[in-house]
Every structure is written in structure tokens, then in C-alpha cells.
Structure 1
């Protein structure tokens, strides 16, 4: 069935082979992979009476297991409670990066990027507009990366090229007639009063659109006809080209998981696609059987009566002694068997790809964070591998880009407030929170452990606070330390104000001995 779907999907041979693969996986992810099939599931016969095979019908039940796998893994990666906190050896740089992340909504962008990139790859573009940093996730079906020969992990350029109709170009302000004539020879047919409608041909024609990002600019090219009969050398569109002058390609190319090639990593859900198709068709068939069981088919064996007419009583059909009538029914127990089969298939698929197999109905009580980690070890293992690609790889590279861009542009937030200056020599790292939010018991155990370590002078107060910063939503550890010291100073001052003068320490740091104590005399 999977091969049938892939063969039914229309492919354009003008594109690289990876384009068709990425588009196919994208269709699985968004649920559009069945749109290439011509019939709905309830259409069992053609108007001529010919039977329509199941392979040509779209299932009526959609259970996008692959999307469930992606959503679960991405939620463990970049949800609100799992997004990492940037840290740097320069406190002002770390504080500035936190502000940029919040202002640009980078959390949402990374969720979008990890979802799109589950097919194998995704590109994240950074732009600085009006002294503000913006990020966007780009699908890579029509993108091609080029790497520096002396640094294979550094982008030299990224090329975007795809087909677009002339009418769409005209809506963007292009002179499509001039672009069409530049690549196609227009011949007037012989005969009086006959003229070629060049505008209509240009509007309906396919054009190549190209855009290239490099270390100096975002280069736009003038579109040219796909079916050109003249040699066409793509020319730079100087009006739309933007020179950023950053000195690096403002884009991060993310390969999803280890494996694949230079452009694409391994897909998150590819191993579960065939199982998803099987589940959807089985459930569709089960639904079809339930509809038949609620509307059974009547079969009558001739002759029903002597004169050929049916006689219907209150709750019965009256036939002759030679006639017969039966209701063809389907047992409803078959639907239950299909559902159990679908559940088993789902469990097998999640086991293969590392999805979440926990059943909320079987959790009688709240579990500790550690217990949840053990129960969902496979999902955490998958999210941990994704951290290497989207966190330590993509997100960290984006933050370094922000630091570099801040040296060229005075960054501000959307309210016009300046972002603190960043040190280009600062070393930036990511502090990831726990996989699961700690329970009250977990927090009590942490507090006891940290207090013991702190009292034994094995860790500093700042390290102890950093350890629980994510659990208590502490954005700036140094500022929290200053607040604690301020609270301690205030407490000491209140204690001093409440202590009588004669019981305070003397000038040498010794407490005076009260009179009448005896002192051993």
C-alpha cells in the first residue's frame, strides 16, 4: 500500500530526487498523502458497476500516528517547560540573549522548526529588521545548501529555486511579458487578423524563481521561463536584493537525526508510516462493517409469493412456501477485534521509533519526575538525540549569530528599548531543564541535598541556585543571589534594631558579660 501511495503521488522530474522524498514525508506529516487517490472510501463501485480497489480509495478514518510521534518528541524538546536557558561567562551577554529570545519568540520558532525538520531537515533564517532580530523556519524541499571547503560544517550559501506561475509573478509586480519574451521566441502565425496573445501565454507559463543567501546578501534573481528556447543566464534582481553585510550566512541548516546525507538527516517517523497506513485502513474497514451491521442487506429467494408481490406484516415479510428471505448481517464483534489490532500496531510502531507508550488510564496516582522518566525512557531517548541537532547545534548557532549581529546593529526590543551589549568573545552554553517537572517530594529532596552540599562548602550558593533556577522560574541567577544577600542584610538590621544596646558586641567583637553572672568567682 505504501508503494502504491508513493507511485500515485505526482513528481516533477525537473527537481532533484530529494525534493520528491521531502515532499512525500511532508505529506505524511500533515495528512495530505492520500490526496493523490481519486476515490473516497465509501465509493465502492464506479458508475459502470466496476469494483474500486481499496488501494485507490482514501481512508475515512485518519489517525496520524506519525504526527503524534513528532508532537510528543517536540514537546519534550522545546515546550515552555523544556526550553533551555542561555548561559555565558559574561553575565550581560547572557541577560541580553534571554531578552532577544523572549522578544523574537524564538521558542515558537524552534517548535515550528523541529516539527518541520522531522522529515529530515529544516533551515532557520535570521533577519535583522529595524534593529530587531527575527527568526523563521523554512522547509527545505526547494533549498540546497553549499558548505565551505575548509569548514564542512559552515554554510557558504543556500539556494532556493522552485517553479511559479506567471500570474503569481505579475501579482508581485514583475513584468511577466518582458520576462517571457527574454526566454521564449514569440512567433506570429501566418494569416490575417491572427495574433498571439503573449500576455495570456506569459500568465499561464511556468517560471523559475531563484534566491541565494550568502555571507554578504540575500540575492534575488529575475525569474525566467522553464521552457526557454533561448540561452538564459539568471540575472540579479537589484531592486529586491538585500545586502546585510554580516559576514556569514544568516541561516542554520539543521539535519534532523544522525544518518542521511549532507543535506538531510534521518526522518523521525519514517519507520512508522506503513503501520499508520495499515491502522487507518483497518479502522476505516471496521467503520464500514459497523455501518453494514446497522443497516443489514435483505436477500430474497424467488418466488416470494404466488403473484410475485411481497406482503409485509407488522414485523415480518410473508413469502410463499417456495420463497425465502434473509438479512445478511456482519457481527459487531469484528470491530472490537480490529480496534485491538490497531492498538497493537500502534504500540509496535511507537516502540520502533521511540514514541510515548504511556497510558494515562493506567496511572492511578501522580508519579515522581524520576518515575516518569523511567516510564517514558524511549521518548526521552529520542528527544535527547534531537537536542543534539536542534539545541546544541541549531539554537546555539543562532545565539552566536545574534551576538555577532549585535556588533553591527544596535539591537532593540519591540518597544524600542535597547538590548544590552554583548561580548563577542563570550562563551555561550545552554542549561536544559529536567525532562519532567519535579513533584513536591522531588523538590524537598533537592532542597535537602543542596543544603547539605552548601553547608559542607562543596558547592557555592550561586551553583545551588542555578540548579533549581528552572524549577522556580529564576531567569538571572546573579540577581537572585543579590536579592538573597539584600534580604539577609535587612534581617540582620532588624535583629540589631530589636537588640538592647547593653547586649550588643563591644568594639572588639566580644559580647559583654552581664553583671551578676558570677563568672566563676
Structure 2
């Protein structure tokens, strides 16, 4: 069974768009739920009526989760504790406030969640300002529809969220709806002035007819849509190159991963049969058709047969399991190559490898993470910080960051300084230090440049150049 046929068996709401169904199916793969629509377990071979159940109608008993593994490995090279980028800015106060914001709002956790959920194609990060405090929320995009401004395609005009929800869930949130009316439409819209909520309507109604709910709508007055829309692997060929989604990280390997899951499940089934083979009895006096009958339970009990009878074990050759495992190994390599995952085996090295050697071993994964840095760094984290700076000028009294009110933050010069992919060893540090000393003594680089080269190796901050002197010859304050 391939990915296309499996998608056809997944439940799909006819009232939602094809884009929503596609993103929902990819999310199911990411979360390991893509086999849940199959009715029968893999161990069940026949129905209650005795009919044989084909393999593609059973849920595999082995799930490798290879797509999730590659996503988590690539995301860990982006925003984990040892790979979080340093956010730089021209204004020293902006640098200090952004650093406090990262720690106070646990922004690395937010970006990890965003990069993981956005691997299906896109993700959105919502900025909320409650009592002058900034909060960040990651939104899945399968029910979101963005509209960009015609005169400025980089700026959002509005974002609409619309999907179906059960009446019980709405009543739990305080909505006065009829629980016997079935599912309801839920809708809200973000624009440059407010977050507009709408009164729910039954699912048989047109969501375009929903009325505004003034009690739940909130006016933020920021002057911009407080959402950063991030396309996964931007600039590459995707399902819809001009649409709101980028390329899915693992879509090219789903078919191969499904094949691996079924092969491993069938290999496990064969090994179980080999441990407890079916016993076939040939006894003409038993009264069966043809004198042949099968007995489940193996050879644990002794049998007494007439002279013309016979008994054999219906076994599976053990070489078949080895062949399956060899085939699975090749399929796994193909899937990892398609996703740019890590195919190296570090346990084959005799000595501890250096940081550069590990980079060469994980070159495919690094190439993937390097492209994700563009999408979630320059295309996600930096716009989010610029949005915070703009909000500090719009909120009365400024934003409260870690208990301190900050107003009119300057976003000019915001940039990211990424650390090395893997920590340097003592030999790497020694070689780097020797090179820097040689360049410094020869006058090729200055002290500030030499410090900034060595600083990432020892966890030091970046040294900024001194401010220019005033026109009267005195140092500028």
C-alpha cells in the first residue's frame, strides 16, 4: 500500500478544503496516527466470517516513526539548548531586552514546537499582549487561511481560522449551543486592529453567514496582524509553490516508510510462526476431506497416528527473515536519503571524532537544518522580534519584559549569529586558536575580530566595536 491509497482511507470532512485534508494527513504521519483508519490489527488474518484479510487492510504491528525521527533531529540542530542563535541588534538596549525576552517567554521552546509542527508545510506564531505582557502561541495551519496585502505581499492583511467542533466542546467553553444539533462551525479572524470571534453555527449552515461575537472579540490596536506565517523550506518546489505552504520535510519518504513498516511487521509475523509452527496431520482415518488437517500449537505434545498416517511441521525458512532485514536496511537508507536524514553510524569509528568529522558524517542532516535556518530563523524568529519591537511602540507604557517596562525598541540591525553545528574538541580549539594568533600577529585581523572568532568556542558574548567619537574629540556618551 502506498501513501496515496492510505490517504484515500483516512476520514475527510467534505466541508473542508483539499489543503486542509492534505495537511491533516501529513500531521497524522508526523504524530504516528496514519494507520488508525485501518480496521484490523496485523495479527488478525481472517474475519469472523472466515474471509482472508489482505495485508493492506491491517494496521502494521511495527511502526518505525522514521519521519518523526528526521524532523526531531533536524529541529534539534535549530533551536535546542546548544544550538540557539544569538540575536544581535544595533541598539544595545534592544539586544538586552531581546535576551531577557528569550529567557522569560521560553522562546526556544516555542520555536522548537513551531519548527516541529511546521515540518508538514507551514506554521503560524501568534503574539498576544495581555496586561502589557507578551505571550507566544504556536498555531497549526490546516484550518488557517492567510491573505496578504496587495501593495505589500510580505505583510498579512488578515488570517481566518474556520473549522468544525462538537457542541459539547463549545458548551465547555461557555457557548450556549444546542448539544443535539451536531457539530458546529467555529470561526475567528485576526486583522491589524482586532481578534474577531464569531457566533457558532451548525455545520449544515454557511460559515460566511456567521455573526460577529462582540463579547469575545478583542481589540489589540497594534496596527498589524500579530501573526508570523512561516513556510517550511521556503524557496523550494512544493505542493503549491505560490500558496501559503512550503515543502513538507518528510513527504518524499512516506511511501518508503510505509513499505518498511509492513515488511518489518510481516518479518515479525514469520518469526513468530517459526517459533511455533503449524502442525499438519495426514491421517486417512480422521475423516477429514483428503485426510489432511492442521493443528495450531506446535510440536509440544506427542501424537499417535496409524501406520499410514503422517505429520509435518509447516515451517518458514529462516533465510527469508534475513532477506527481509537486508531489504529493510536498503529501504531505510533510501528514505533517509530522500529526507536528508542522518545515515552515518558513529559506532564504527575507533576513536572519538572531532566536531568537523561529525559534521561530515551528518552532512545530509546539516544541509537540511541549514535550509531550515532560513525558514525559521530569518523567516520566523527575526520577524517575530521585529513584531515585538513594533508592539513596544504601540502598547501604552511599553511591553513588560521580566517585570520591566520597555518602550520604543529599535529593531534596526536585528540579525542572528548561529553557533557551530557540533561542539569543538580540544584539538579543534587548539587549531583554531593557533590560526587566530597567526592572523592577529600578522595584522590581518584586529583584536575585536579575533575575540568574536574565539568567543563561540568558549561561550563568550560578541564584542561590539567602540562607538565613534563625537565631533569635539570627546568620546560619545
- Whether TM-score is above 0.5 comes out as yes
With over 3 angstroms needed to count, the CA separation of the structure-2 counterparts of 1:419 and 1:221, relative to structure 1, is: same
**Residue number in structure 2 paired with 1:243:** 219
Residues 212-251 of structure 1: matches in 2 within 5 Å?
212-228=189-205, 233-251=209-227
**Where does residue 400 of structure 1 map in the other structure?**
386
- Find out whether 1:328 has 2:314 as its counterpart: yes
Query: Counterpart in 2 of 1:355?
Result: 341
CA distance in 2 between partners of 1:305 and 1:382 (Å): 66
Alignment match, 1:278:
259
- Paired residue for 2:70? 69
Question: Relative to structure 1, is the Cα distance of residues 92 and 101 closer, same or farther in structure 2, using a 3 angstrom cutoff?
Answer: same
Q: Residues 345 and 314 from structure 1, CA distance in 2 versus in 1: closer, same or farther, beyond 3 angstroms?
A: closer
Question: 1:269 and 1:334 mapped to 2: Cα distance?
Answer: 30
Aligned to 1:259: 237
CA distance 1:336–1:425, shift in 2 (3 Å):
closer
- Pair 1:140 & 2:161 matched: no
CA distance in 2, matches of 1:461, 1:166: 66
Q: Give runs of aligned pairs for residues 349-498 of structure 1, distance below 5 A.
A: 349-409=335-395, 410-414=398-402, 416=403, 418=404, 423-424=409-410, 426-475=412-461, 477=463
Worse-superposed segment, 122-131 or 9-18? 122-131
Measure the CA separation in 1 of the matches of 2:218 and 2:145: 20
Q: Residues 348, 222 of structure 1: CA spacing in aligned structure 2 closer, same or farther, 3 A cutoff?
A: same
2:166 aligned residue = 165
How far off is 1:102 after superposition? 1.2
In structure 2, the residue matched to 1:499 is none
The answer to whether the Cα contact below 8 Å between 1:93 and 1:426 also exists between their aligned partners in 2 is no
Indicate the structure (1 or 2) with the bigger Cα radius of gyration: 1
Q: Distance in 2 between matches of 1:354 and 1:94?
A: 34
2:181 matched to 1:210? no
Q: Is the 8 A contact 1:73 1:383 kept in 2?
A: yes
3-state DSSP class of the match of 1:469? helix
C-alpha distance in 1 between matches for 2:166 and 2:112 = 32
Whole-angstrom CA distance in 2 between matches of 1:405 and 1:277: 46
Deviation readout 1:273-331 (Å, 9 max, x if unpaired): 0110000000000110111111111111013699x9x9xx9975332221101111112
Instruction: Supply the distance in 2 between the matched residues of 1:148 and 1:123 (Cα, whole angstroms).
Output: 17
Paired with 1:273 and 1:52, the residues of 2 have a C-alpha distance of 23
TM score, norm. by length of structure 1? 0.82
RMSD: 2.4
Show the counterpart of 2:14. Answer: 13
Secondary structure, aligned partner of 1:427: coil
TM-score (structure 2 length as normaliser): 0.89
- Number of equivalences: 449
Match of 1:295 in 2: 276
Q: Deviations over 1:443-481 (max 9, x none)?
A: 1122222223333343333332222333322246359x9
Q: What is the alpha-carbon distance in structure 2 between the residues aligned to residue 352 and residue 21 of structure 1?
A: 20
| Alpha-carbon distance in structure 2 between the residues aligned to 1:228 and 1:253 | 29
Distance in 2 (CA, whole Å) between partners of 1:419 and 1:19 is 40
Q: CA deviation at 1:160?
A: 0.2
